[in-house]
Amino acid sequence: MPSKELANGMPAEVVMETSYVQNEETHHHVFEEKGRVIYMNNSYYIRYEESHLNESAVPVTVKINPNGVVNLIRRGENMTRLTFSSDEITETQYKTPAGIMPIRIETQDLKVSYYDRPFAGRVAVDYRLHFNGELLGSYQIRLRFTT
């Protein structure tokens, strides 16, 4: 059972690493931010803002569901909501200036682990995105948080 502090939300150090390959080019980004971890309705929420040079910060929420499904929500210029599930291919609507694109999310590997004293966790996701039957790219997310 999570502590009462987590139900109210606790400050956390958040490190989000993303890597992806698109059009045979590899990209890697690391964000080290201050955020919050909240336990609500049997799920953990990790919230932080990604800082970008010369751009406004992008609010990000990672929701870890009790069934092992992980949601990633980014509220930037285009809102992104990805659902990662080890058991099924999921879909999302990606809003772009050109219109809405239906995207399929194929989760290849998904691991979530927690640690006590201090409360911390890790989320590792490897996935591929598809549009109109075509592979858009291969992606990796490595999230670490420590209260």
Q: 14-50: per-residue pLDDT in tens?
A: 999 999 988 889 999 999 999 999 999 999 999 999 9
Strands 70-75 and 25-40: unpaired
Q: Reduce the DSSP state of residue 8 to 3 states and report it.
A: helix
Give the predicted TM-score (pTM) of the model: 0.91
- The upper half-sphere exposure of residue 49, i.e. CA atoms within 13 Å in the direction of its Cβ, equals 9
Going along the chain from its start, the domains and CATH numbers come out as: 40-126 (2.40.128.20)
Q: 65-109: per-residue pLDDT in tens?
A: 999 999 999 987 778 899 999 999 999 998 777 888 899 999 999
